[in-house]
Amino acid sequence: MEIFQVEHARKWMKATNERIQEKKQELTELDQAIGDGDHGINMARGFREVMTKLDGETYQHVADVMKDVAMTLMSKVGGAAGPLYGTAFLKLSMAFKGQDVDYPLFTKGMEDAVAGVKQRGKSEVGEKTLVDVWSAVLEKLQENDHFDGSLMLDTAKAAMENTKETMATKGRAAYLKERSIGHLDPGSVSSFYLFESLAGVIREGV
Amino acid sequence: MEIFQVEHARKWMKATNERIQEKKQELTELDQAIGDGDHGINMARGFREVMTKLDGETYQHVADVMKDVAMTLMSKVGGAAGPLYGTAFLKLSMAFKGQDVDYPLFTKGMEDAVAGVKQRGKSEVGEKTLVDVWSAVLEKLQENDHFDGSLMLDTAKAAMENTKETMATKGRAAYLKERSIGHLDPGSVSSFYLFESLAGVIREGV
Amino acid sequence: MKKIVNDPERVVQDMIQGLVTAHPGSVKQLPDTTVITRKDAPVSGKVGLVSGGGSGHEPAHAGYVGKGMLDAAVAGEVFTSPTPDQVLEAIKAVDSGAGVLLIIKNYTGDVMNFEMAAEMAEAEGIQVEKVVVNDDVAVEDSSFTSGRRGIAGTVFVHKIAGAMAEKGGSLQEVKAVAEKVIRNVRSMGVATSPCTVPAAGKPSFELADDEMEVGIGIHGEPGIERKKVATADEIAGELTDKIFTDLDFANSDVAVMINGLGATPEMELYIVNGKVQAILADQGMNVYKTFVGEFMTSLEMAGCSVTLLKLDNQLKELLDAPSTAPAFYS
Amino acid sequence: MKKIVNDPERVVQDMIQGLVTAHPGSVKQLPDTTVITRKDAPVSGKVGLVSGGGSGHEPAHAGYVGKGMLDAAVAGEVFTSPTPDQVLEAIKAVDSGAGVLLIIKNYTGDVMNFEMAAEMAEAEGIQVEKVVVNDDVAVEDSSFTSGRRGIAGTVFVHKIAGAMAEKGGSLQEVKAVAEKVIRNVRSMGVATSPCTVPAAGKPSFELADDEMEVGIGIHGEPGIERKKVATADEIAGELTDKIFTDLDFANSDVAVMINGLGATPEMELYIVNGKVQAILADQGMNVYKTFVGEFMTSLEMAGCSVTLLKLDNQLKELLDAPSTAPAFYS
Ligand SMILES: Nc1ncnc2c1ncn2[C@@H]1O[C@H](COP(=O)(O)OP(=O)(O)O)[C@@H](O)[C@H]1O
Ligand SMILES: Nc1ncnc2c1ncn2[C@@H]1O[C@H](COP(=O)(O)OP(=O)(O)O)[C@@H](O)[C@H]1O
Ligand SMILES: [Mg+2]
Ligand SMILES: [Mg+2]
Ligand SMILES: [Mg+2]
Ligand SMILES: [Mg+2]
């Protein structure tokens, strides 16, 4: 893949939605363990709405897809995940605006997205939140110079799994302090599905 | 036994209290099945108070014992059982007043007691209430001419067991209609313990 | 079932203590009794209103003691009618010479204990009248049985008779309006989980994971029919159907009460209310006022009851009259 | 856990429908939103008060919409903060030009969604201020984390800020008094059973038959410590101890709130209150007013929280001011 196109964006969202619907209960159970048990429900509702939205529209630019994804997630997910995912996609949309999305631009978009999420959530890497997964993926994108699906998948997976061993200091799991150790962070798991889906799109190429 | 004396009355109440305390949970469970699950608790509270009361008093006449039993049950049991048992003992006390309690007087007291309970509860024999046990015991007393512990025990037992097969038309179990069949009436079971205890006192003689 | 209590045998005393200290300005406990009265009882010249029953139905009955509602509430042990001596104390404490009305829920125990108290009070020269509330249409009203039970509709009797007494009605007038409410109020409930009497320590009945008990009483006594749990809409339909079969509400102005039995989230009560309102509108009834919340509970039982009261102008005015009772502010 | 609902995915919509039809004279729903406002919103010249959060805490937050309290409540999905577009609609609906105060409970999601709405509203030229309630002493207040949670104490913020707005306070004045309440209010809770998010269908956590969860949140999130169930007196002692460690209430006038989490019988809340009052009296505090009931619930969770608010003359006056909100009549 050279250019990340509208069709790629659609496939990305479609694959993500399928994964999220399939894993709705798993995400909810993870959130029950160290949060309030709504993460799967929220993400499933949000991505179902994303699909409805995208299916009814035609797009010229990836930026426009990202914008609709952002707005839909923002207004349908709620909780902590809604504004965070919403902000991420809004930043991608703003970075991509009116342009073809080549590797450097995609990476730039991800930089803005991660910065936006960190700012919105007042959070940093290592706090056992989805920032851990997004940051790890970004870092590899910055180190590399071309789309690499397998690398993205492995990176996201490792970062997601790593949240199990850390103690939460942000989000609802933070209230549990030491008791949060030993559980995966639900937002990191949903983010993993997002990047796993993107990795699939990248590997399939155009 | 020729004359039912103060010591007999005390032993009767002591034995009854022991049985009721022992069977508290059984009575409550019976009441849970077709009532509201408080009969054992109420009776246990009432007879515990009866013992406290009697232990602190000296009596000349059986009537005075019966009166204290009546007043204590009336003010400590509550629910349906409180006024019914209270009325029964009050009627016994009134019938016995100032006299030695021989067999005919005891029977007369029981006649008044049963009439009083029926009137208070607006109930008749066959409605699956404690009236069934009291009436059966009374009937045998009327047919006989001397205290007979074994007869009393058998009579009370049969009447109590018979409530299992009847349908309730009074008391809380009446709401269950057909569904009340197949369960013993809790008030009849507590009444059985009362007469079982009395039968024991009679058999032991003075 | 876990309970936040100290001693299962002392829950009523402890509760009364907590209640009186919560509302020290408006209610008081009669020393050495389980009677709660208005702080200013007896109110000179006013008919006294006394209600009560077993505990476990909170906020009933003490929550309805206040200006414009009850003068006294007598608390029995959990689900056990209070004893005559306690009721008598309440009567004596609220009688100002204008007489006392007893509002009794129709249970054998309650009726007997309150009646005995009334007899004693009359023997002491106090004028006493009584009304017996029997709004639960789940149970057939038959002359061969003790008749229908009194449940959440009782709260409307407290409110309306209380308003009548407050505005100076005579004992007969207060009794008459209480009886009018009783003639015009109907209720029915459903439970999805049982409750546990603290001193009993185990649930009053068992329900499978997919069952509900229709026509449930408020004492953990089993209902009249056990069936598969239904949706909120179906439950609203079944309860109102049963009520309409018993009393014709067509074209009436009605007050609605959606009462939670203890453990049901208010969210669910509102969902039931949504459907009840739709049904009433469909049938051309006009909802004058709606009450959603916990009014007559059954410890931590899950479930709800629906109460409908047919209103005329007099009842509307009395329903709207001010009340300062902690559990029925209007 | 059985639920009396129609469709687990539609509980919030159904609830709002039932709520609006229950109180048609005092509140309305903004079309196509989950926002409930005062019927007379925007109130000319008055600062608008908007609160809200996930659903499942009923009567919070819509039950506090009324004269003297909130102008609007925004309902999210169960335990999920509402989205910025919904909050924005609420802000726009209640702004009369005098500005709007957002009362937010301190959860990452709530803070982010309300902040985004505030940014959007400001972009549209509306003056918006916000306060974040964080009364739960169970959770440490650390600058490295998102800080303490907001729980039942929020209701006092609604009440007092609402009274200030009603009597004509400016946006800054209303915000200042809300912040004063936040500085002076502390809470802590305990749960004896979990709750079930309707769409999740299974309990949020599990507790053994003899366990309780101390420092429970109001979203079914686990508490801070699990231990053997204690007596009501011990629980009252532990919760107030933790509160006193966080804020010195010695010699203060205080308002007390004993809040049921959903399934706890009111009887138990009063039992807890009895001990709390005794403890406060022991420590020389003066209880000005007590509230016992369900104010900030967690679906059908069993348990309770204790909230203490230190009062000065201003706060007393505002606490006593009239409110017509269905869940906080005073
Ligand atoms: N301050 C934060 N910064 C970044 N991510 C966060 C923050 N707070 C929470 N999250 C992420 O959000 C996830 C929880 O999302 P969700 O359950 O939808 O929201 P809520 O906690 O409001 O119920 C967490 O697993 C975590 O990854
Ligand atoms: N009307 C009645 N007449 C005679 N006995 C009755 C009547 N109603 C109830 N009982 C008796 O009382 C018993 C129940 O007592 P109890 O459980 O203490 O009272 P409650 O039903 O008020 O909870 C029944 O089992 C029955 O024997
Ligand atoms: Mg969550
Ligand atoms: Mg009983
Ligand atoms: Mg009983
Ligand atoms: Mg949430």
Q: Which of residues 99-138 of D touch A (CB under 8 A)?
A: 107-109, 112-113, 116, 138
**D1, D79, D88, D195: best mutation site toward chain A, by most A Cβ within 10 Å?**
D79
Same domain, C228 and C309: yes
CA distance D30 to D44: 18
Give yes or no for residue B185 CB within 6 A of ligand 2: yes
CATH number, domain with residue D21: 3.40.50.10440
CA distance B173 to B128: 8
Compare CB distances from B170 to C77, C108, C116 and report the shortest one's residue: C108
Q: What single-letter DSSP state applies at residue B164? A: G
The reported pLDDT for the residue numbered B206 is 56
What average pLDDT does range B102-110 have in this prediction?
Answer: 98
The reported pLDDT for the residue numbered A162 is 98
DSSP B62-98: HHHHHHHHHHHHHHHT-TTHHHHHHHHHHHHHHHHTT
Q: Is residue C115 part of a domain?
A: yes
Same domain, C166 and C243: no
Give yes or no for residue A171 CB within 6 A of ligand 1: yes
pLDDT under 50 in chain D at which residues? none
Same domain, C130 and C264: no
Q: Is residue D155 part of a domain?
A: yes
The reported pLDDT for the residue numbered B138 is 98
Q: How many domains, chain D?
A: 2
What average pLDDT does range B64-69 have in this prediction?
Answer: 98
H or E element, residue C74: strand C72-78
HEC letters along A11-73: HHHHHHHHHHHHCHHHHHHHHHHHCCCCHHHHHHHHHHHHHHHHHCCCCCCHHHHHHHHHHHH
| Of C153, C183, C213, the domain-final residue | C183
* Identity at C182, one-letter amino acid code: I
pLDDT digits over C131-171, tens only?
A: 999 999 998 776 666 789 999 999 999 999 999 999 999 99
pLDDT digits over C25-59, tens only?
A: 999 999 999 999 999 999 999 999 999 999 999 99
Q: Is residue D324 part of a domain?
A: no
CATH number, domain with residue C311: 3.30.1180.20
**Neighbouring C-alpha atoms within 13 Å toward the C-beta of A34:** 28
Same domain, C37 and C152: yes
- ipTM score: 0.94
Q: Is residue D326 part of a domain?
A: no
Catalytic (active-site) positions of C: 57, 219
Q: Is residue C99 part of a domain?
A: yes
Fold exhibited by the domain A3-204: 1.25.40
Same domain, C69 and C168: yes
| Of D183, D202, D217, the domain-final residue | D183
D chain contacts of residue A37, beta-carbon cutoff 8 Å? 79, 197, 200, 204, 219-220
Residue closest via CA to ligand 2's atom 1 equals: B121
Mean pLDDT of chain A: 96
Nearest-CA neighbor of A72 among A96, A38, A49?
A49
Q: Is residue C325 part of a domain?
A: no
Phi, psi of C215 (to 5 degrees): 75, 35
The reported pLDDT for the residue numbered C142 is 65
C200 or B46, which is more confident: B46
Nearest Cα of chain D lies from the Cα of A154 at a distance, in angstroms, of: 29
C58, C81 Cβ separation under 8 angstroms: no
Say whether pLDDT at A206 is over 60: no
CA distance A164 to D140: 22
Same domain, D211 and D191: yes
Same domain, D196 and D305: yes
The reported pLDDT for the residue numbered B175 is 87
Same domain, D87 and D206: no
Residue of D nearest to C23 (CA): D290
pLDDT digits over A157-180, tens only?
A: 999 999 999 999 999 998 888 899
Same domain, C205 and C143: no
Nearest-CA neighbor of D51 among D62, D38, D66, D40?
D62
CA distance D135 to D141: 10
The reported pLDDT for the residue numbered D21 is 97
Q: Candidates A25, A84, A118, A119: which one to mutate for ligand 1, based on the most atoms within 8 Å of Cβ?
A: A84
Q: What single-letter DSSP state applies at residue D290? A: E
Residue closest via CA to ligand 2's atom 25 equals: B187
**C267, C276, C282, C285: best mutation site toward chain D, by most D Cβ within 10 Å?**
C267
Q: Which ligand is nearest to the CA of C77?
A: 5
Interface contacts C/D by beta carbons within 8 Å: 187
The reported pLDDT for the residue numbered D143 is 62
Range of the domain at C250: 185-318
The reported pLDDT for the residue numbered C279 is 98
Q: Is residue D325 part of a domain?
A: no
Q: Where are the domains positioned within chain B? A: 3-204
What average pLDDT does range C163-181 have in this prediction?
Answer: 98
CA distance C180 to B120: 27
DSSP D121-165: HHHTT--EEEEEE--BTTS---TTS--PPP-TTHHHHHHHHHHHH
* pLDDT range class, residue C330, cuts 50, 70, 90: confident
Q: Is residue D278 part of a domain?
A: yes
What's the CA-to-centroid distance between C1 and ligand 2, angstroms?
A: 26
Nearest Cα of chain D lies from the Cα of A63 at a distance, in angstroms, of: 21
Same domain, C115 and C193: no
What's the CA-to-centroid distance between D161 and ligand 5, angstroms?
A: 46
D205 CB within 8 Å of a chain A CB:
yes
Say whether pLDDT at A41 is over 70: yes
| Direct distance between the N- and C-terminal alpha carbons of chain A, in angstroms, rounded to an integer | 6
Where does A77-148 have alpha helices with state H? 81-96, 103-121, 130-143
| Direct distance between the N- and C-terminal alpha carbons of chain B, in angstroms, rounded to an integer | 6
* Identity at D222, one-letter amino acid code: P
Interface contacts A/D by beta carbons within 8 Å: 117
Tell me, yes or no, if D158 is annotated catalytic. Answer: no
* Strand C225-228 versus strand C211-214 pairing type: antiparallel
**Neighbouring C-alpha atoms within 13 Å toward the C-beta of B92:** 28
Same domain, D78 and D89: yes
pLDDT digits over A49-94, tens only?
A: 999 999 999 999 999 999 999 999 999 999 999 999 999 999 999 9
The CA distances from residue D212 to C136, D60, D85, D227, in Å, are 37, 24, 38, 6
| Of C167, C183, C199, the domain-final residue | C183
Nearest-CA neighbor of C106 among B188, B117, B185, B171?
B171
Other C-beta atoms lying within 10 Å of the C-beta of residue A21: 14
A42 CB within 8 Å of a chain D CB:
yes
Same domain, C124 and C192: no
Close Cβ partners of C201 (under 8 Å, ≥ 6 residues apart): C8
